[in-house]
Structure 1
Amino acid sequence: MPDIPPTAPAEAEIAALRAEIDAIDDAMHDLLMRRSAVVARLAGSRAKGSGSPVRPGREAAVLRRLLARHAGPLPRARVVRIWREVFMASIAIQGEFSVAVHAPNPQSGHARLAREHFGPIAAIRVHPTPARALAALSGGEVSVAVLPAPAETDGEEAAWWAHLDVPRLQVVARLPFVTDPGGPGALVVGPVPADASGEDRTLLLVEAEPSAARGRIAQALADAGLPAAALLVTRAGEETLALAEIEGFLHPEDARLAALPWARRTILGAYAVPVVGDTP
């Protein structure tokens, strides 16, 4: 009887594991095809209507549900990345999709955020100013716009959020969805209302009196039952503009808005609160 090389058991084990992976790949592919067929039926459903297929709140809720049940060596950020591709493939089935992003160049941080969130296949068009990116969205040239997260250092041109054409255009998502403390942040603006994910923050813009201090604005919000998780205050000419991030999904008819002492109070949209990535 010929001698069996000592590596044979290891090779047999590797072959068996690869066969198991192949079977799993086939099962995953079957499910992807099945999911795509359901998406195609949804796209053709009269009940759905002809609106945009972009539903960031629904996507965030799905990701949170999957992450809550996730276990094993596959990193949480990779799970999000895989499902982001699944989401974008589903959107592509329902129609063309493209992104306008304000960034100095295609390699900048905000352009990278757009590519990572919407996938490398999505058409991404870089614009030199927020106004140009919003004009492309408003004109129907793109599906969404990715703009820098507001900051108190924003000049008049950079403070796109102070002039957003709501309710026609609204903030619908925040990037990245997996928190990255050291990276840039961005907001996604779309031609659809924001949809609730179950854990959200609403962006509320108020125009206060010219001399209003941050403490006065924060207190007025709290007194109305709308404490701000974050508050940005800037002066625009004789105006004092405050952008508050309110915990929860705030509706325009919410009675607490009427309790605010300012006539101009505008909901700019909402976004799903980002999830925590993998702990070191």
Structure 2
Amino acid sequence: MTQAAPTTLADLRSEIDRIDAAMHGLLMERSQIIETLIAIKKTQVSGSAFRPGREADMMKRLALRHQGLLPLDTVESIWRIIIATFTFVQANYSVHADISGGDAAMRDSARFHFGFTVPFVTHEDARAVIAAVADSAGDLGIFRMDLGASAGVWWRDLIGPAQPKIIARLPFIERPDHPAGTPVYCIAKPLTDAAVREIVLYAARVERWSEQLRHGLAQHLAEVSASAADGSHLALLVAASGETPVDAIRSALEPAGLKELTEIGSHAARFAFKSVR
């Protein structure tokens, strides 16, 4: 016999209490699994628990299945905090942020994506963030993607096998009026087996600017994300599809007198969400 749906306020409140208790129980059950994971993988070492590819996949599946009255912003934030906090439990870390473009936007981004349990450390510019992450046991760093020329050639500080690399572009779910919509790069020490390579980033040095560059790169699903003078040369930050061979990027940059091309990270492609409500 099918149980009748609750009809009174008392019944509805009782159902809400039941669901709340069930959600709390599931979080505690998830915690127990993480304890087992730590024991099996012995990952309670800072920086060893980041899985940006898995996180991006989880967020995409969450957005695709979401429906109903509850805003996706709220659901995304809850899930991000769950992921970030359980990662912190596995291996403590801090988030370093460049606040040169304003503290509020970066603080909103850090708290939306990593919650309040993970320590938040501010710095005066992107290069200081990179240095802090490089000197840490395994922290994360975030800074705005739209840094101007005054920020210098910060991406060259990511060159080198032991230097931090870009591992994510946040927010992953792209939509208008996102509450933490400031586009930021997230960096970490190199991840050996967890990086996602849908978008690959390169640091390049060329002799001069050439209008052929944009067209040549676009043909290979690539673009110049940032540029700045670097002594007598021009430094470029190039973003390309992970399916584009590095030789194709190199060929597209040759007309400008390519001197150097080095991979400095990768991240998941943004997921554009359109509400079906």
TM value normalised by structure 2: 0.80
Cα distance in 1 for residues equivalent to 2:217 and 2:103: 39
Q: What residue identity is the alignment partner of 1:26?
A: A
* Structure 1: unaligned runs, 5 residues or longer: 1-10
Contact 2:145–2:185 (CA under 8 A) maintained in structure 1: yes
Q: Does 1:241 align with 2:238?
A: no
What are structure 2's unaligned runs of at least 5 residues?
1-5
Computed over aligned residues only, the root mean square deviation of the Cα atoms, in angstroms, reads: 3.1
What are the superposed Cα offsets for residues 165-204 of structure 1, whole Å, 9 maximum, x if unpaired?
A: 4433100111223336675321111013384558x32212
Q: 1:63 aligns with which of 37, 59, 65?
A: 59
Aligned position for 2:209: 212
State the distance in 2 between where 1:187 and 1:129 align: 13
Partner residue of 1:160 out of 154, 160, 169:
154
In structure 2, the partner of 1:53 is 49
Q: SS of the residue aligned with 2:97?
A: strand
Aligned length: 261
- For residues 130-149 of structure 1, the aligned pairs below 5 Å read 130-140=126-136, 143-149=139-145
Deviation of the 1:112 alpha carbon: 2.1
1:227 to 197, 209, 221: 221
Instruction: For residue 95 of structure 2, give the secondary structure of its aligned residue in structure 1.
Output: strand
TM-superposed deviation, 1:142: 6.0
Residue 36 (structure 1) aligns with: 31
Q: Give 1:249 shift.
A: 6.3
Deviations 1:140-187 (A, max 9, x none): 166111122144x322x4431133244331001112233366753211
Structure with higher Rg: it is 1
- Quick one: which of 80, 83, 99 aligns to 1:84? 80
Question: What per-residue deviation string (whole Å, max 9, x for no partner) do you get for residues 35-73 of structure 1?
Answer: 111122112224869552112221110110122122211
Quick check: 1:202 aligned with 2:178?
A: no
Measured after TM superposition, the shift of residue 130 of structure 1 is: 2.0
Residue 240 of structure 2 aligns to a residue in which SS?
strand
Aligned to 1:267, which of 254, 263, 270? 263
Distance, in Å, in 2 between the alignment partners of 1:149 and 1:113 is 13
The CA deviation at 1:267 is: 1.5
SS of the residue 1:52 aligns to: coil
CA–CA distance in 2 between the matches of 1:181 and 1:236?
35
- Identity, in percent, stands at 26
* Counterpart Cα distance in 2 of 1:41 and 1:130: 37
- Pick the aligned partner of 1:128 from 117, 124, 130: 124
Q: Could you tell me how far apart the structure 2 residues matched to 1:113 and 1:145 are?
A: 12
